[in-house]
Amino acid sequence: MEMTGARRWWALIAVAASMLVVGLDLTVLNLALPTIANSLHASTSDLQWFNDAYSLVLAASVLPAGLLGDRYGRKKVLMTALAIFGASSAACAYAASSGELIAARAVLGLGAAAIMPLALAIIPVLFTPEERQKATAVMASTMFLSFPIGPLVGGALLDRFWWGSVFLINVPVVLLALAAVTFLMPESRSAQRPRVDAVGVAISSAGLIGLTYGFIRAGQDGWGNAAAVAAIAAGALALAAFAAWERALTRRGERDAAAGTRAGAPAETRTVRPLIELALFRSAGFTWGTILATLVTFAMFGILFAMPQYFQEVRGVDALGSGLRLLPLVGGMLAGMIGGTRLQSPRRNAAGLPIEPLAGARSMVATGFAVMAAGLAVGAFTTVTSGTGFTAAWFAVSGVGLGVAVPSAMNAALGALSADRSGAGSALITAMRQVGATIGVAVLGTVLSNVYQARLTPVALPAPVAGAVKSSVAAGVVVAHKLHSAALLETVRTAFVHGMDTMLWACGGIALASALLALAFLPRRARSAAGPAESAAPGTSETGPQRAELGL
């Protein structure tokens, strides 16, 4: 039964709520870490594992989660993932020790690993190529809305309740998302259900864990750390072996198809389908759309990571005030998404015949990145005494660029996915963005840290105290206040701003390079995997008679 137009959009909003809970969790944890450290007597290593357990499980599970959605039903797997996410959020809230919280965070990563790709996977299933730009904008805006909402809600909760309340806010949102998905989202799955690529799952999980752990460790302990280098090398080798295995499976499947059906073997069990379609990388839209969507994370890292620290440690505002100061970014992003979507929307001439949109994917992505680069370049002139109006202005400009670039880049990547394999394809996009984000945190965090430490004016302090000052701006501010040293406080804040500005220059450079890459390699128009015929039946596969099964 085909869904009506209005119900498809309500289904999208329901799934977007699922993405909101993931984004909220990412933002509120860092806010609560100081309180958690005191309540659970957590060590520095424990604090790192609160984040790392989540990231490592997510990296290991994201590709299999997409495959499970394609095989067993995207709605079914998404609902299971939401239930896991909600239950583990409650477990995080009531954890009585660091070990319990680490274990709960690991299970939370398992839920997020399915929510993130399957939320994207419904776009090629439910929407025609002409509608996907708008659908992608809705999904992207929900994720980015979590960045200011998290500090606003989390800060208010921490001021009034215990630290576990920042995890409990996930539970009602999950319940609403579950109800909405249950009643609004159709079931869809691949028309074919071949055997699972168990070897590919094992190798890819090992490779993604190795890369993720290696870059996390490098960001924490330095790029000369032997364990970090070994993990990165092992992860890269495992992913190279994974690519070779997938290529071999693809060739075997092609030979089996050419030879015809084996005697007595059901069609869906004749061969093992590869975990990913390497042919996707022959699509410039998929390859460069995914790369450029990942580079957005790099370019925005300076705002989302450094600026809350700037507001709280340099300007002295609380978490709630920090969240409020991020709102111009969201306003600019929404304006950019609305404007960019309208420029790429299908048009008709006076005779009612379809004509090309005013702008294509290539020009919009390049323009978005160029605007981001301009905003970040202005932001690199931020000083210790810069006013709120100055930061609001360049936040808004950067947000406009973000709103234009992200949906266009994601739409270019999603346009290459068929409804039949949207889960596995979206999982591949998510995995690449996740690893890219981890690399960005490690590389750009190192830039900020190195400049911060280099700019610290030598102060006569005991070695342990000096080490704490160098570890982070938050620790430096705490030490300065305890010593009642105005000179040390000024030194710490000035050094951090120098590091932040250097990193913003780097982020602006990444945005400018991304604009040039978009112009050079991204197709002018986002192309659908199914071609024009797909627009006749949302939710169907590109294979003609072999349709994705809709459970309505």
**10 shares its domain with 106:** yes
- Which long-range contacts link 474-477 to residues 24+ away (Cβ below 8 Å)? 474/34, 474/309, 474/312, 474/313, 477/313
Its domain, for residue 201, covers: 193-261+268-272
Task: Return the structure tokens found at 164.
Answer: 């576990």
434 is a domain residue: no
Phi/psi of residue 128, each to 5°?
Answer: -75, 160
pLDDT for 72 equals 79
Q: How far apart are CA 521 and CA 219, in angstroms?
A: 31
pLDDT for 245 equals 87
Mean of pLDDT values over 17-28: 76
Mean of pLDDT values over 68-73: 78
Q: Which of 129, 120, 217 is nearest to 536 (CA)?
A: 129
Look at 19-23, 113-117, 525-529, 533-537 and tell me which has the smallest mean pLDDT. 533-537
403 is a domain residue: no
Above 70 in pLDDT, residue 425?
A: yes
Number of independent structural domains in the chain: 2
Above 90 in pLDDT, residue 233?
A: yes
pLDDT for 91 equals 93
Helix (H) or strand (E) holding 348: strand 347-348
433 is a domain residue: no
552 to each of 3, 7, 186, 320, how far by Cα in Å? 8, 11, 6, 44
Task: Return the structure tokens found at 165.
Answer: 């309340």
CB 124 within 8 A of CB 422: yes
Name the most confidently modeled range: 26-30, 330-334, 337-341, 351-355.
Answer: 330-334
Mean of pLDDT values over 454-480: 77
Q: What is the mean pLDDT of the chain?
A: 78
- For residue 501, what pLDDT band results from cuts at 50, 70 and 90? very high
CB 354 within 8 A of CB 346: yes
**7 shares its domain with 151:** yes
CB 496 within 8 A of CB 314: yes
35 is a domain residue: yes
Q: Using CB atoms within 10 Å of the CB of residue 460, give its burial: 0 to 12 exposed, 13 to 18 middle, 19+ buried.
A: exposed
pLDDT for 257 equals 62
Last residue of a domain, one of 272, 303, 338: 272
CB 343 within 8 A of CB 182: no
Higher-confidence residue of 448 and 472: namely: 448
Task: Find the radius of gyration of the CA atoms of the chain.
Answer: 24
**102 shares its domain with 210:** no
Above 80 in pLDDT, residue 318?
A: no
CB 73 within 8 A of CB 193: no
Above 80 in pLDDT, residue 225?
A: yes
Above 60 in pLDDT, residue 119?
A: yes
Q: Please list the alpha-helical segments (H only) found in 456-530.
A: 463-471, 473-483, 486-521
pLDDT for 505 equals 93
Above 80 in pLDDT, residue 481?
A: yes
**149 shares its domain with 246:** no
DSSP 162-204: -TTHHHHTHHHHHHHHHHHHHHHPPP---S---B--HHHHHHH
Higher-confidence residue of 400 and 531: namely: 400
369 to each of 134, 296, 403, how far by Cα in Å? 19, 8, 10
Look at 5-19, 54-68, 370-384 and tell me which has the smallest mean pLDDT. 5-19
pLDDT for 208 equals 87
**30 shares its domain with 87:** yes
CB 98 within 8 A of CB 46: yes
Last residue of a domain, one of 204, 239, 272: 272
Q: Crossing angle of helices 98-126/44-72, nearest 10°?
A: 30
pLDDT for 405 equals 87
Mean of pLDDT values over 6-14: 78
Q: How far apart are CA 184 and CA 10, in angstroms?
A: 7
**35 shares its domain with 172:** yes
Strand 354-355 to 347-348 pairing: antiparallel
440 is a domain residue: no
Last residue of a domain, one of 249, 272, 295: 272
Above 50 in pLDDT, residue 4?
A: yes
Q: How far apart are CA 132 and CA 138, in angstroms?
A: 10
Type of residue numbered 497 = V
Residue with tokens 């079931």: 187
pLDDT for 526 equals 56
pLDDT for 412 equals 80
Helix (H) or strand (E) holding 124: helix 98-126
Residue 45's CATH number: 1.20.1250.20
Above 80 in pLDDT, residue 264?
A: no
Residue with tokens 């440690």: 313
- For residue 403, what pLDDT band results from cuts at 50, 70 and 90? confident
- SS3 of 17-81: the string is HHHHHHHHHHHHHHHHHHHHHHHHCCCHHHHHHHHHHHHHHHHHHHHHHHHHHHHHCHHHHHHHH
Higher-confidence residue of 347 and 74: namely: 74
Mean of pLDDT values over 43-60: 77
198 is a domain residue: yes
pLDDT for 258 equals 65
Q: How many CB atoms lie within 10 A of CB 70?
A: 28
pLDDT for 544 equals 32
**69 shares its domain with 176:** yes
Above 70 in pLDDT, residue 263?
A: no
Q: What is the pLDDT of residues 266-305, one digit of tens each?
A: 544 456 677 777 777 888 888 888 888 888 877 777 777 7
**257 shares its domain with 159:** no
**124 shares its domain with 211:** no
Above 60 in pLDDT, residue 149?
A: yes
303 is a domain residue: no
pLDDT for 347 equals 59
**13 shares its domain with 105:** yes
Q: What is the pLDDT of residues 179-221, one digit of tens each?
A: 878 877 777 766 666 577 788 888 888 888 888 888 888 877 7
Higher-confidence residue of 518 and 188: namely: 518
361 is a domain residue: no
Task: Return the structure tokens found at 249.
Answer: 């499976």
**37 shares its domain with 157:** yes
**70 shares its domain with 175:** yes
